[in-house]
Chain A
């Protein structure tokens, strides 16, 4: 079928009289359509980003201070923390590797990651391997009922303990 590429005969006069309006309306339509597309795409991301998660809570109780005798380092693997008790002082160190998120085991010299061989000292400082950052320390507090509460959303200065 032949394709006629010519504009309709009235195009020239129309262009002279309504050219600006036409271009403006065209521009407005394009921006409107493109903007709507971008907004729709963005709203998809808003939708798939959960507001509440179904997984384990970030703030939780780990029991009475007496459960952690002085001088022990007890890993609570389900919470991915290691509870350190020195005398009357208590702290919670993350056991999630800062490299790629594997669970770190307690070793003689501190912590060791099984995935890529990162090693940390007793305070969580990197002593070897690819880990880029020391292990974070989490905020520990005493709840009114006398239980120790850990908040993994709040990282604190390494070396700061809770006196119990």
Chain B
């Protein structure tokens, strides 16, 4: 027992005067929002990523492989930024759009004729949607050809396949909304394809259209799906997709042991702690860090190949965003989104074509409605979903076209090439009555 004197109460802070408070108002407001000054050292760089709501999705540090432009090509971020652009332009377009068969087409004309920036916003929305379908597909190719779907990222690949499907469905539902000839017949064909599914096909088609044919009910349903249901689903899936990137250990990269085996075996080197999987002992008390899976602590002379997210990752993201936005802006300035004749239920255009990304499907459908429209696409999707559970060889992760992944990459490349060829045939080489024509 020591006679420790109780700590003296701190002298009360001088009561701030009103004038002083007013003078320091801007800086006080600023510092109450942003808790850190612009970082000048590594501690502050960490704190910036932690304490900012919009930045805390990032890890404090990322592996330098994540930032190699030629490794990721920025395709995942581009997909996300295109989605953001689509949400913003889409909400703006909603202010003028009416999902009614008697008004929708007129609203399209108004958008073109009397709404400020109407044409431009519609162009951005249309080209952004086409771009998103293409970029999401290319992103999938990148992930496959670099072997990035392998353990522990199998489930994130599955989420990614779902994201591709929802993206296609979003694009498809949006296609009907202008209520022009292109829209009407593309949806008539698309809904009929759904009707070929065994057992549930007819019910599915009826649920989708709300009626026996494409009409007012179908327009309203597609509108609700397009502006509410599917964006919500897509947002949720994106959130899971991003979260899993962090939890699966960041973006894929070559295994560390391939890079630095000499350090692990060097005599006298400090212990490298690598927790592969945590076996939980029920009798033991754990700190939170003890539950986190993955390599935890780098000690000794293992070279640290990670860099701070601020500013390295942020600059890369900003660059990708500006690039994506500029391309969409330039394309929207140069090219107007197509708008065909108003719907004429009596006269299908000849040939009636679906959106370009479904023309491969339509080409297959012209051979056999069931196999082309339902059977083969279902097999494709199932194949994509279970690919990471079939191809479980651990090698070749983190580099493009790894030699040990020749078989898997060739298989996937065949799938991609077949799809692209079918789309090209359907787009360019099919004329009236779906007869073969040459585009030149």
The interface of chain A, by Cβ under 8 A from chain B, is 1-7, 45, 48-50, 53-56, 58, 77-78, 99-103, 112-117, 130, 132
Contacts and interface: CB of A to CB of B under 8 A. Distances in A.
26 contacts: A2-B288, A5-B284, A5-B286, A48-B207, A48-B221, A49-B207, A50-B211, A50-B217, A53-B217, A54-B211, A55-B213, A55-B216, A55-B217, A78-B346, A99-B365, A100-B369, A101-B191, A101-B195, A103-B347, A103-B348, A113-B433, A114-B432, A117-B433, A130-B366, A130-B368, A130-B369
A53 B211 contact: yes
Contact of B434 (A48, A49, A116): A116
Contacts of B369: 99-100, 130, 132
A114 B351 CA distance: 6
A56 to B, nearest CB: 8
A114 B348 contact: yes
A116 B192 contact: no
A55 B185 contact: no
Given A3-B285, A49-B207, 17 more contacts: A48-B207, A48-B210, A50-B211, A50-B217, A53-B217, A54-B217, A55-B212, A55-B215, A77-B345, A78-B345, A100-B369, A102-B189, A102-B352, A114-B352, A115-B434, A116-B433, A132-B370
B282 interface: yes
B350 interface: yes
Interface of B: 185, 188-189, 191-193, 195, 203, 206-207, 210-213, 215-217, 221, 280-288, 291, 345-352, 362, 365-370, 432-435
Contacts of A3: 285-288, 291
B211 A2 contact: no
Given A53-B211, A102-B352, A130 B367 contact: yes
A58 to B, nearest CB: 7
Nearest to A45: B207
Contacts of B192: 99-101
A78 B434 CA distance: 24
A117 B280 CA distance: 65
A3 to B, nearest CB: 5
Nearest to B350: A114
B233 to A, nearest CB: 14
A139 B202 CA distance: 21
Contacts of B352: 102, 114-115
A102 B348 contact: yes
A7 B283 CA distance: 9
Contacts of A77: 345-346
A39 to B, nearest CB: 18
A11 to B, nearest CB: 11
